[in-house]
Each structure stands twice: as structure tokens, then as C-alpha cells.
Amino acid sequence: MSTERTLVLVKPDGVQRGLIGQVLSRLERRGLKLIGLKLMQMDEALANQHYAEHVEKPFFPGLRDFITSGPLVAAAFEGANAVQLVRNTMGATNPLDATPGSIRADFGVDLGRNVIHGSDSPESGERELALFFESSELVSWDRDVEGWIYE
Ligand code: IDP
Ligand code: MG
């Protein structure tokens, strides 16, 4: 079992629509441990860094305008296989293709308004967490229910 850390963003559409609690709640109840949390607004420089792999894509200007348009919630989650667990709970990138029951299927209809971001690999998780959090903002804590979540 590999403990991983991953960055979750409740994107500006999720914040505007009042979905912060519901999105984070689904990840919490899955058994993921929250180790960092903040409300913030991305600027262009951070958007360019965070979405570095997409900067040259035709959809990037629209994505950058959207992601910097209002506040978002950045959350750090930790746990065994945290990256894959978050990705599965999120659903496919396009809400149209996302499995019913996943966050993107249950809360969204449009590719460019898909409510949540989750890192796509453990390496991306570490890279992205470093963009959004100082190491002092990530809290290491013991959870008493661990034995009821992991065998
Ligand atoms: P992911 O968020 O599931 O990892 P990526 O391919 O990394 O998906 O794309 C990052 C974000 O960019 C997506 O969540 C989506 O909001 C947006 N995006 C991706 N592809 C398109 C597109 O073709 N048109 C508009 N927006 C897109
Ligand atoms: Mg991605």
C-alpha cells in the first residue's frame, strides 16, 4: 500500500454554485485524509504553472480565464492510492462521459465547467501541492479511525 498525496481543486464553478461542502464531503467519506485546505484565487502565473501541460492547447485561454475568474478551494488529501481514489470519485474529464455517481457526472454537464480538479499521478500530486501550499500549511496528523478504514 503506497501512501500518496494529491491536490484537489473545487474550481470556480463549484464555489459559485455552493458545492464546496458536497465535493469535499464525498472525498472525506471515501476515507481520504484532509491535510491542507484554503480558499484562494488563482492568478495567470499560477494557472500557467498548474496547467503547464496544456498551455499550448487551443482550449487553454478559455481554461485560464475560467480558472482565474473567481475563488476556488485548494485541498490536499493523503491516503493509500489517494491519486486513483480521487480520480475515480471525480469521474471522467467530460461530465458527459463520467460514470453516474461520480462528482463530475452528478454535478456537471460541460467539459469546461467540470467542478473539480484532481492530480493525475503521484508525481503530479507532489508538483501541484508545492504550487498551492507552503510545506508549513500541510498538517501531519493521526486519525483515530484509521483501523476502520484500512485493513
Ligand atoms: P483532467 O482535469 O481530467 O485531468 P485534463 O485533460 O488535464 O483533464 O484537462 C484539464 C482541464 O481542462 C479539464 O478538467 C477541463 O476543465 C479542461 N479541458 C480539457 N480539455 C478541454 C477541451 O477540449 N475544451 C475545453 N476545456 C478542456
Ligand atoms: Mg489533468
What's residue 64's pLDDT? Answer: 98
In this structure, which ligand is nearest to the CA of 63? Answer: 1
Three cell numbers, residue 146: 484509521
Question: What is the rounded (10 degree) CA torsion for 138, 142, 148, 151?
Answer: 90
Other beta carbons within 10 angstroms of residue 10's beta carbon come to: 24
Ligand nearest to the CA of 96: 1
54 is catalytic: no
Substitution candidate for ligand 1 out of 54, 84, 124 with most atoms within 8 A of CB: 54
Tens place of pLDDT per residue across the chain (151 aa)? 689 999 999 999 999 999 999 999 999 999 999 999 999 999 999 999 999 999 999 999 999 999 999 999 999 999 999 999 999 999 999 999 999 999 999 999 999 999 999 999 999 999 999 999 999 999 999 999 999 999 9
Residue closest to 18 by CA, chosen among 28, 27, 10: 10
- Rounded CA-CA distance 33/143 in Å is 8
Ligand 1 contact via 6 beta carbon (within 6 Å):
no
Mutate to test the pocket of ligand 1, among 11, 63, 89, 128 (most ligand atoms within 8 A of CB): 63
pLDDT at 1: 63
**By the 8 A CB rule, do 78 and 37 touch?**
no
Q: Which of 10, 36, 117, 133 is catalytic?
A: 117
What is the model's pTM?
0.98
